[in-house]
A and B are shown apart, each in its own frame.
Chain A
Amino acid sequence: MTKFGAMANRYWPTLVLFAFLLASWQAAVTFGNIREYLLPAPLSVWNALWHGDTAWWPHLWTTTFEIIGAFLMAAVVGVALGVAIAWSPVLANALVPFLVFVNTLPKVAIAPLFLIWMGYGIFPNMLMGALIGFFPVVINTAVGLSQVEPDMLDLGRVFNAPKWKIFVKIRIPNALPYILSALKITATAAVVGAIVGEFVASQRGLGYVIVTTQSSMNTSVAFAALVWISVVGLLLYGAVVLLAHLWAPWAEGVD
């Protein structure tokens, strides 16, 4: 079977279900007399996406930028903290309780403080996304770095290999699938964080669009914004899956 054929074979149930849900939705709104401001029909959402008054591009760009920034920050800081924890027991003892504390805080509750400290802007929203998404990266990095077979470490000791070399040649590649697996969670968390940030304080972005539709009851625009958010979220998630496929093909099917 061709690759396309195999994919069609695998995904047709998804597509059929999706089409069925859309059609039912449209039918329910059209024939069920549901008011547009409560639940807009799929066609109205389509119109809001392409033919409405909203200029999507600046909002889409702002939110995408925030999400990617949040994702990268969470990835870099998360990996760095994970390496620090796995490298030194002293650092682990110092950092872990603090990180657990930060993780238990409901990050949404901090968002208004960000507004006070940093005002409106892209950066605080990025930071919110990073704050929500970094923790799994820290934990998975630290776990992946330490889940090395003791016999392999003995092999390193026999050859008197320095600690950094064991990290570079054995521990870090070993942790890669773990890190990539955490980044899938981070990809979703970055989206949540960016939108939450925009809800609290923003002048632009898809979250901002949703907040403004509340007062105007322009529900189809809110739905259109949701479509854009899920497109960005899915693309980022897909990029991470692709990255995992390219960087750690040996770990395929691990998670």
Chain B
Amino acid sequence: MAKGLIDLDRVGMTYQAASGPVEALAGISASIGAGEFVSLVGPSGCGKSTLLRIVAGLRPATTGTITVAGRAVTQPIPDIGMVFQAPILLKWRSILENVLLPAELAGKDPRSLRSRAEQLLEMAGLGGFGTKLPRELSGGMQQRAALCRALLLDPPLLLMDEPFGALDAMTRDDMALELLRIWGEKDVAREARKTVLFVTHSIPEAVFLSDRVIVMSARPGRIAADLRIDLPRPRTVELRATEAFGKLNLEIFRALTGKTSMGTAF
């Protein structure tokens, strides 16, 4: 098996529910290379968020092995940044202090990272907002701050769990572009970019962002398809209107549903 930054080898996960054991994931094998942007799409409850947490070492897999950067994952791994569906900023801290939180949690001196935090906020378009409280920012801005927090310690791996799922459609499309810009689509060499594992419900979002889309089936979650997205980077708004973009959407839709036509789903 190819050695990537993340290697999943027949990963399965079964949990005990009140009604008995539930198989959430079965036989997940995949290899994700350094610098790759990979999206996980699948129906609700297919275990894609669980898989993300297994990669982070936050949940144990029942079977199989997970290797990140050559080391088996048995407990939470520190070299990751996480972004969740909700920004989960601490309400009592300013935006800047929220961005610095990982430093404090990891036992680093937040003062030494202050200028980096300010740079990140600047880059995310939150330059003047460092001293504001989270509630003074819009949902989209809060989620940008959460992204800055995830990037503070410069982790090689970014795990994102439906980060734009709670935003309105327009903000969502904006955030996708922002994310690619911050990720360094234009100005960072491919190998030097962060590896991103991105969970989403949205097929167009997955296609727009990713180098690769892994389609998962309903419970137990299995890999139904693993598609390379060979669209040119940097991605632009116009790309959404191209035939190639549409075809990839359709292909993923088919893999997801087993249907040959999009019907009325779009």
Contacts from A to B (Cβ < 8 Å): 149, 151-152, 154-161, 165-166, 169-170, 173-174, 176, 248, 250-251
Contacts and interface: CB of A to CB of B under 8 A. Distances in A.
Contacts of A176: 92
Contact of B86 (A151, A160, A174): A151
Contact of B78 (A160, A169, A170): A160
B73 to A, nearest CB: 12
Interface in B91-123: 91-92, 101-102, 104-107
A250 B92 contact: yes
A250 B105 CA distance: 22
B80 interface: yes
Chain B at the A interface: mostly helix, strand, loop or mixed?
A: loop
Given A169-B101, A250-B135, A161 B106 contact: yes
Chain A at the B interface: mostly helix, strand, loop or mixed?
A: helix
Given A158-B56, A160-B78, 7 more contacts: A151-B82, A151-B84, A156-B105, A158-B58, A158-B77, A158-B82, A250-B133
A162 to B, nearest CB: 8
B interface, size bucket: 20 to 34
Contacts of A149: 86, 88
A151 B135 CA distance: 19
Interface in B176-218: none
Closest 8 CB pairs of A and B: A159-B105, A161-B105, A159-B106, A151-B84, A250-B91, A157-B76, A173-B92, A250-B92
Contact of B82 (A155, A161, A165): A155
A161 B104 CA distance: 8
B22 interface: no
B37 to A, nearest CB: 20
Interface string B53-95: 1001010000000000000000011101010101010111000
Given A160-B106, A165-B104, A154 B90 contact: no
A77 to B, nearest CB: 25
A105 to B, nearest CB: 36
Contact of A158 (B80, B88, B90): B80
Nearest to A157: B76
Q: Which of A154, A161, A166 counts the most chain B CB atoms within 10 A?
A: A154
Contacts of A154: 53, 56, 58, 76, 82
B156 to A, nearest CB: 14
Nearest to A155: B82
B76 A158 contact: yes
